[in-house]
Amino acid sequence: MPLDLGLVVRDYLAQYPRARHFDIARIVVDQAVRLGVAQADFTGLPPKWQPINDYGAKVQAHVIDKY
């Protein structure tokens, strides 16, 4: 099952106050990279920036699809 980090982080951040967003996003990203890799990482193409909150924060990550 593919893991879209942009959607996961956005869902998590909706549950926390803005002051905690950086810490929460850092924890989620740190754990996600331990789960697997994105096949698209090997293409050499950069992933698209995705908004993760209503304050302009964005994440740039391919969908993790190899565990």
d(CA 55, CA 29): 19
* Closest to 9 measured CA to CA, from 30, 24, 31: 24
* Cβ count within 10 A of residue 6: 19
Is residue 30's pLDDT more than 90?
yes
pLDDT over 90 at 12, yes or no = yes
Residue 51 predicted with pLDDT over 90: yes
Over range 26-44, report the average pLDDT: 94
Percent of the chain with pLDDT over 70: 100
In angstroms, rounded to a whole number, what is the distance separating the alpha carbons of residues 4 and 16? Answer: 20
Per-residue tokens: 41: 């990482």
Domains of the chain with CATH codes? 5-60 (1.10.225.40)
